[in-house]
Structure 1
Amino acid sequence: MGNSRAYPVFRTTDAVEAWTQALRLKALLEERDDEVILMADLLTVEDARRMAAVLPEAEFDYADPRVDPVTRDFLEFGMDISAAEDSVLEPELPLAVLHYVQPGTVEDRFVRAVGKGTASIGRHGRWPDDTETDSYGVAKYDGVEVLFNCDDVSWLQPADHHTVFVHVGKWGDLPRAEKLAAHLGSTVLGGAQLGW
């Protein structure tokens, strides 16, 4: 039980640069999960259309739950984003998507499709044991995540930049985070946050 601790280790206004640095960290994982987690909030019609083109198999939903005024049942978004008229799609916004993909399939296109909303790419894995820092990898907690247009892994602090996080054990592991940040020529940019 529990959550990882996520440390911010790189920040930039260039989404491609953030993704490139996340890939450099991902390469250091000793083990990697078979799936990549993609999430995004879509604020504009253009954002929704770009993301639907990148993730045609994904299920899109309302970013904020909507309730039928009569039945009080939760409403599901079921519109075909690519076929809907702008005037019909606009009132349905904001939308959200959570989708799992095979590594190396759509991530680069996902990064280019990110609009103004918060988005993330996460990859679970296991950091190698490091006796120098007395750090031991834990597959349940370790990994790399890049947050677009956001400063925290809880998506509560929208920003005009992108932040790369390293996830480590549930008790935190600042020495490992510092070493991973140094690999990027950076430093740890803030305290540990509650991760996945």
Structure 2
Amino acid sequence: MSNSYAQAVLRTTDIAEALRVAGQLLDLADTGELEVDFEARVSTPRELERLSAVMPNADWWSHGADRHGSSKKGDSPSQHLPLFMSRWCMADEDVEAFLVAAGDAPAMVRWDFSGWPEAPEVGLGCGGTRGAYVTLCVNARDLCLQEPATDHTVYVHVKQVEAQRAAWLAARVGLDVIGELHMAPL
């Protein structure tokens, strides 16, 4: 497992605004090789049904210290709620359907791409694939989907040694960073 460093650049109750800002950030990036990852915290059978439809063959694991079900064991997810679902390497075109399926459940979309552009104003060359992500967390205040919320947060990910790139990226889309840069497990 690798890590990136993430910093929030927008918090809003308007999902369309969050998607617009994520799109503006992606417009800055080298998205020649774009992949999209989905994760959701699933609590109800209805959420499981909706999310399974848009995340076929998703990995899942039970949520909670005393719970041990998982897709790796071949268990039935409906018998192990609540759980986390994850599906990597989805298409950008699947984002809207995923967000509709997530409904009010805490969920995350992470766009993984080739790199950030050169940031000469802060002395940085082009950024490579490590640390080049945009994440949208819906109905959650944190990247691990542990803190439910009624709003949505857009994060930029950068290399720790290039922390100033986060503020530079936020400024490119008319925003400021929110809070501190923190490690984000992937």
TM-score (norm 2): 0.82
CA distance in 2, matches of 1:15, 1:42: 19
Larger deviation: 120-129 or 59-68?
A: 59-68
Would you say how many aligned residue pairs link Structure 1 and Structure 2?
A: 180
Alignment of 1:1-196 (within 5 A): 3-64=3-64, 66-67=67-68, 77-79=75-77, 89=78, 92-125=80-113, 126-136=115-125, 137-174=127-164, 176-195=165-184, 196=186
Unpaired stretches in structure 1, ≥5 consecutive residues: 69-73, 80-88
- Describe the shift of the 1:2–1:171 C-alpha distance in structure 2 as closer, same or farther (beyond 3 A): farther
CA distance in 2, matches of 1:37, 1:50: 17
TM-score (norm 1): 0.78
CA distance in 2, matches of 1:66, 1:156: 16
- Describe the shift of the 1:161–1:99 C-alpha distance in structure 2 as closer, same or farther (beyond 3 A): same
SS in 1 for 2:92: coil
RMSD: 2.6
Unpaired stretches in structure 2, ≥5 consecutive residues: none
CA distance in 2, matches of 1:172, 1:152: 21
SS in 1 for 2:137: strand
Judging by fraction of residues, say which structure has more helix: 2
Give 1:188 shift. 0.7
- Tell me the alpha carbon deviations over residues 13-54 of structure 1, each in whole angstroms, 9 at most, x when there is no partner: 123332232122112112454421111111222221211121
CA distance in 1, matches of 2:98, 2:166: 26
Return the index of the structure with the highest Cα Rg.
1
Runs of 4+ in 1 over 6 A off after TM superposition: none
